[in-house]
Structure 1
């Protein structure tokens, strides 16, 4: 059994909804799962997990949300070698840089030597169509199945 953290930042509730859906989808794998808001986390907390899922909305024109800035910067202070990770987020196609924060966190996790085991999940606002829900479930199941390896 692996230990997984789903760390997220959500303003309108969209990213939190994705995080909840991921958690429910991973539960059948019997991994230990912690759901945490990024602004209440210390990056060193990540070291106790085998799997790391980071989720955030994108603010404005591709910017990090205020509540993730310190966490994002502090990531450079830790080595995540041996940790499996993936990133998810919500965005709005009305903005030119759709879900840009997913890409920012993927790059930062690579800089910390984390192993990105799948492509980031980018959701328009909230997963409300069956297709979007299935995409989230598939993302979670794929992640959970690779964590046990």
Structure 2
């Protein structure tokens, strides 16, 4: 059974809500899923997973949240060797750099050698509407379809 990690930083609960919608969706595919707050996560464990999804809110004018900074720096030091990853988060359009922390994680994961799903999920505040919930579910399904395709491509290339 494939293992997935969903790790997230959430101050108000918005990103946590997104994480659990994603988790519920991925559970439909019989994955072994860990859902862990980012400040409780040891970055060195990432490579023990088949799939890693990282969620964050954006602090201030585009900054990483304090509780995600150490994890971010630790992940930068790891060689992720094609690990299938994706990024999601919540933000507030009243700030000039909406969900910028999601972009920061996305770029960092690429630089660390991960295979990064290019469709990021960015939700305004909380996933309260049916449309927001469906966006979260579609993101999870899309990531898994992409990761499965990447796995098949890897098999064909070898």
Query: The residue matched to 1:54 in structure 2 has which SS?
Result: strand
Partner of 1:60: 60
Alignment of 1:1-149 (within 5 A): 1-148=1-148, 149=151
The 8 Å contact of residues 76 and 108 in structure 1, kept in 2 or not, is answered as yes
CA distance in 2, matches of 1:82, 1:72: 17
The 8 Å contact of residues 9 and 67 in structure 1, kept in 2 or not, is answered as yes
The structure having more radius of gyration, on CA atoms, is 2
CA distance in 1, matches of 2:71, 2:13: 20
TM-score under structure 2 normalisation?
0.91
Structure 1 residue 41: Cα displacement: 1.1
CA deviation digits over 1:31-74, x for unaligned, max 9?
Answer: 11000111111110101001010000000000110000111111
CA distance in 1, matches of 2:44, 2:113: 14
Question: Runs of 4+ in structure 1 displaced over 4 angstroms?
Answer: none
Query: The residue matched to 1:56 in structure 2 has which SS?
Result: strand
CA distance in 2, matches of 1:132, 1:20: 13
CA distance in 2, matches of 1:37, 1:51: 16
TM-score under structure 1 normalisation?
0.96
Q: Which structure 1 segments of 5+ residues have no match?
A: none
CA distance in 1, matches of 2:146, 2:45: 21
CA RMSD of aligned residues (A): 1.0
